[in-house]
């Protein structure tokens, strides 16, 4: 199967041990310097602040919404892993390295992280076509792999049995009493890791769900191994009582999380043990679990970190195709997805998060309209338009997308402030602040769009892992239906637009697909980054009525001495293809052929 070109490049860079920042430089160098591109779906517009707001640029929304997670990366590799120029390594001494900070704070909470990773994976599972068409698959995989790597590192196994797992890194209240960038937070007393061997069933199940869907999406067998083990731990333990997390993410249910994980494990394995558990959840009140609610009487909550019953019900309906299962989903959605002119406001705290998560669920249901009997695309389009600025305040609640976007989310790393005293009384950022590209702020407190863009407003301007999870999937779902908008080839503050040296070359090439083609000589710019990555874009003549076939060639050398040469082309308007040939710098000669893997 032909893989997306960006995915191929990401895979290659992991082989070489080079940062994604350098890869992005190579991918965009010719584009930035010549104004042409060989990457499918890209535009040459590089400004974050658009001259006019666009309420249906779903391509750009999908691209931008994932960048928020680069801003929240944690660990000893952030400098190379994050796409943000202004983020760097932090908290490298954590007992469990890696993962993501939860929100504007620096704690790594398990429950919202598990929910986020599984929801991001769900979005790709349902709308893979959007990610592939827009070249966003590699970024999505980098994020979900990072979540899953952290979950696996947080889990101790004896054979296939979980002996203990870490459900939180960081002391919640003590961390919230500090305001500084993560790079400058060196107090290890705030970085306690909390482990359990007989609790946190909800978190273990969310980890399992995320790992299972990541296995489905990208095929890492180790993800499936850990998913099974964590699921078995969860259904054996059946407790959700984690004191360290209660003041921030108090969960009363674990049954819905277990059903969510069971659905993904069934899709990953086709083992009826998992589908039977999910079916029990759908058709029992509590399945013998005191205080735990099943869906016998219907779905009872919107999709969020605290309840995934709606997602579990949609998975059950997809698996069975049963009209009664779909009816439980659509009955709930029909009660929520009502007005296209009134903003859906589930709560005065983080309303945009609930709105976009509901959109994600509604769009997944719409995908199966032949079975579900419902199409919510128009409602989702209208609601997303309000999120993107079609509202009385003329505010786009996604940071960095347009000139009218929210600018001052409640986020330590982005704010530029190094203490509460510095920030006291301010609504805007420090002169050292940064744009938290793609972050979805909490949003309006009501359907009348009561909202203030202030760094000190932790209700309206909070950002968090779970806030963006539904937004990413909804953007992919809307693009899958409407195919509107385009991605940006260069974004201020995001790696990929830095070139250290340039030189002009003249290259003549002949197209070999037809004898009627005439060679076209073009002067292009060849850019070399500090890590020996060279790219050249060549425009070849096309046959009468055809499209120019841009070809990008490049050479990339890793720190281990391995060298990759690649050729990327889009012949006659076809989808972009990328071929690779690998040699070692120590080789005196080499023979072979270009290929993909």
177 among known catalytic residues: no
* Catalytic annotation, pick one of 318, 402, 462, 466: 462
Q: Say how far apart CA 19 and CA 98 lie, in whole Å.
A: 15
Q: Which domains does the chain have, with CATH numbers?
A: 5-42+500-584 (no CATH), 46-485 (1.50.10.10)
β-strand partners of 161: 158
Integer angstrom CA distances of residue 7 from 108, 216, 577? 28, 16, 11
Integer angstrom CA distances of residue 365 from 58, 294, 317, 410, 484? 19, 20, 9, 33, 21
Q: Say how far apart CA 97 and CA 95 lie, in whole Å.
A: 6
Provide the H-helix boundaries in 270-308: 272-283
Provide the H-helix boundaries in 154-237: 172-176, 201-218, 221-237
520-528 β-sheet, strand order: 501-509, 520-528, 533-540, 549-557, 562-569, 577-584
* Catalytic annotation, pick one of 102, 453, 466, 488: 453
Q: Dihedral of CA 433/435/441/446: which sign?
A: positive
206 among known catalytic residues: no
Provide the H-helix boundaries in 135-186: 137-153, 172-176
Does residue 35 come out as left (phi exceeding 0), alpha (psi in the -120 to 50 range) or beta?
Answer: left
Please give the chain's pLDDT, 597 residues, in tens.
323 333 333 322 333 333 333 333 333 333 333 333 333 333 333 333 333 458 999 999 999 999 999 999 999 999 999 999 999 999 999 999 999 999 999 999 999 999 999 999 999 999 999 999 999 999 999 999 999 999 999 999 999 999 999 999 999 999 999 999 999 999 999 999 999 999 999 999 999 999 999 999 999 999 999 999 999 999 999 999 888 888 899 887 899 999 999 999 999 999 999 999 999 999 987 654 666 788 888 898 999 999 999 999 999 999 999 999 999 999 999 999 999 999 999 999 999 999 999 999 999 999 999 999 999 999 999 999 999 999 999 999 999 999 999 999 999 999 999 999 999 999 999 999 999 999 999 999 999 999 999 999 999 999 999 999 999 999 999 999 999 999 999 999 998 532 222 333 333 333 333 322 333 333 333 333 333 333 333 444 443 344 444 454 554 444 344 445 545 444 444 444 445 444 444 444 544 444 443
């Amino acid at each position: 199967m032909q893989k997306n070109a960006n995915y191929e490049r990401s895979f290659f860079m992991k082989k070489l041990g080079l940062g994604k920042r350098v890869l992005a430089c190579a991918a965009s160098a010719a584009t930035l310097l010549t104004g042409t591109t060989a990457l499918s779906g890209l535009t040459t517009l590089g400004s974050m602040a658009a001259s006019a707001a666009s309420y249906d640029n779903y391509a750009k929304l999908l691209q931008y919404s994932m960048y928020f997670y680069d801003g929240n990366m944690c660990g000893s590799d952030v400098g190379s892993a994050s796409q943000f120029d202004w983020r760097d390594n932090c908290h490298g001494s954590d007992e469990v390295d890696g993962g993501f900070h939860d929100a504007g704070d620096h704690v790594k909470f398990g429950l919202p992280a598990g929910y986020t990773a599984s929801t991001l994976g769900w979005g790709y599972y349902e709308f893979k076509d959007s990610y592939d068409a827009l070249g966003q698959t590699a970024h999505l995989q980098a994020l979900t792999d990072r979540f899953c790597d952290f979950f696996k590192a947080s889990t101790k196994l004896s054979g296939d049995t979980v002996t203990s797992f870490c459900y939180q890194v960081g002391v919640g209240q003590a961390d919230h009493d500090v305001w500084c960038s993560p790079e400058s937070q060196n107090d290890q007393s705030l970085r306690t890791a909390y482990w359990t061997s007989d609790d946190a069933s909800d978190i273990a199940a969310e980890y399992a769900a995320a790992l299972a869907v990541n296995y489905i999406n990208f095929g890492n067998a180790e993800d499936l191994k850990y998913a099974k083990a964590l699921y078995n731990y969860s259904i054996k333990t059946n407790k959700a009582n984690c004191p360290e997390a209660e003041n921030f993410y108090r969960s009363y249910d674990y049954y819905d999380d277990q059903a969510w994980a069971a659905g993904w494990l069934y899709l990953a394995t086709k083992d009826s043990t998992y589908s039977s558990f999910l079916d029990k959840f759908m058709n029992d009140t509590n399945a013998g679990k005191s205080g735990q609610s099943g869906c016998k009487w219907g779905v009872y909550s919107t999709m969020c970190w605290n309840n995934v019953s709606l997602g579990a019900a949609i998975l059950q309906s997809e698996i069975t195709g049963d009209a009664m299962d779909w009816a439980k989903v659509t009955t709930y959605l029909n009660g929520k997805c009502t007005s296209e002119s009134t903003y859906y406001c589930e709560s005065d705290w983080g309303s945009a998060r609930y709105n976009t998560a509901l959109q994600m669920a509604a769009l997944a249901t719409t995908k199966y309209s032949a079975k579900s009997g419902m199409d919510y695309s128009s409602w989702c389009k209208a609601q997303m338009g309000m999120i993107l600025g079609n509202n009385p305040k003329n505010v786009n609640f996604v940071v960095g997308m347009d000139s009218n976007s929210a600018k001052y989310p409640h986020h330590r790393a982005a704010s530029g402030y190094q203490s509460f005293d510095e920030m006291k009384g301010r609504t805007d950022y420090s002169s050292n602040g940064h744009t938290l590209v793609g972050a979805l702020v909490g949003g309006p407190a009501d359907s009348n769009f009561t909202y203030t863009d202030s760094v000190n407003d932790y209700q309206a301007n909070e950002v968090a892992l779970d806030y963006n999870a539904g937004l990413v999937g909804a953007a992919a779902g809307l693009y899958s239906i409407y195919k509107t908008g385009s991605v940006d080839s260069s974004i201020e503050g995001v790696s990929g637009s830095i070139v250290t040296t340039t030189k002009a070359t003249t290259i003549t090439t002949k197209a070999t697909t037809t004898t009627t083609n005439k060679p076209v000589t073009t002067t292009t710019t060849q850019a070399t980054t500090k890590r020996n990555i060279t790219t050249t874009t060549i425009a070849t003549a096309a046959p009468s009525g055809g499209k120019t076939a841009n070809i990008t060639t490049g050479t990339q050398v890793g720190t281990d001495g391995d060298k990759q040469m690649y050729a990327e082309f889009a012949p006659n308007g076809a989808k972009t293809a990328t071929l690779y040939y690998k040699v070692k710098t120590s080789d005196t000669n080499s023979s072979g052929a270009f290929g993909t893997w």
